[in-house]
A and B are shown apart, each in its own frame.
Chain A
Amino acid sequence: GQQVMQIPQYQHVQEGEDFTTYCNSSTTLSNIQWYKQRPGGHPVFLIQLVKSGEVKKQKRLTFQFGEAKKNSSLHITATQTTDVGTYFCAGTGGGADGLTFGKGTHLIIQP
């Protein structure tokens, strides 16, 4: 079945530094979604990308969808302590595969 890989697994940054997480799929995706999970919480939807090469921004967050629709990235500029959590990408393939999540990147911020 569909597999979604995400790197890195953990990322330690100093507050104010930038952060990027990368997502790769074994198959072409119809869309890519990004979620954030705070410690002890549940995943919360951030954004969805559908078009090849699409770029979307939410304040300090920039999301990209690759031209081949098999990879994506999330970039956070000037991290803040409120950005702490695990960021997941999730994708749906062309068949009947359900929404498949990557293993997530745990963002740890040191003040």
Chain B
Amino acid sequence: DAGVIQSPRHEVTEMGQEVTLRCKPISGHNSLFWYRQTMMRGLELLIYFNNNVPIDDSGMPEDRFSAKMPNASFSTLKIQPSEPRDSAVYFCASSLTWRNTEAFFGQGTRLTVV
């Protein structure tokens, strides 16, 4: 298995534009997590899905952020409209279950909003 695949690896966009980050979890994993990493705030859990259903989205910073998981092999995190303070590295991770199993991280998407 190729592991968790994220795209794009880097994204530079202008303030106000829509940004879509993509994630393909490891086949057979039932849980998927989206994290945001910054120097100031560390690794923040934004949302996680179990069996394609969002379980906890309390970490999503504002209504500008939305995430979907239309099937077991694909998820998106969308920011609309983007703002400079959204600049961060966004990680997707998957695990067999949402509890008590290790999380496998993708390489991350480095987002820069100018």
A33 CB to nearest B CB, Å: 7
Q: Which residue of A lies closest to B47 (CB)?
A: A98
Interface size class of A (residues with CB under 8 A): 20 to 34
Contact check: which of B59, B91, B100, B104 meets A30 at CB < 8 Å? Answer: B100
- The A/B interface has a contact count, at CB < 8 Å, of 60
Cβ–Cβ contact B91 & A42, under 8 A: yes
* CB of A85 within 8 Å of the partner chain: no
List B83-110 residues whose CB lies under 8 Å from chain A: 91, 93, 95, 98-108
Interface size class of B (residues with CB under 8 A): 20 to 34
A30 to B105, CA, bound (A): 21
Find the residue from A43, A50, A90, A92 having the highest chain B CB count within 10 A: A43
Cβ–Cβ contact A98 & B33, under 8 A: yes
Contact check: which of A30, A42, A97, A102 meets B56 at CB < 8 Å? Answer: A97
B45 contacts across to A, CB distance below 8 A: 98-101
Taking beta carbons and an 8 Å cutoff, which residues of A are in contact with B?
Answer: 1, 30-31, 33, 35, 42-45, 48, 50, 88, 90, 92, 96-104
Taking beta carbons and an 8 Å cutoff, which residues of B are in contact with A?
Answer: 33, 35, 41-45, 48, 55-56, 58-59, 91, 93, 95, 98-108
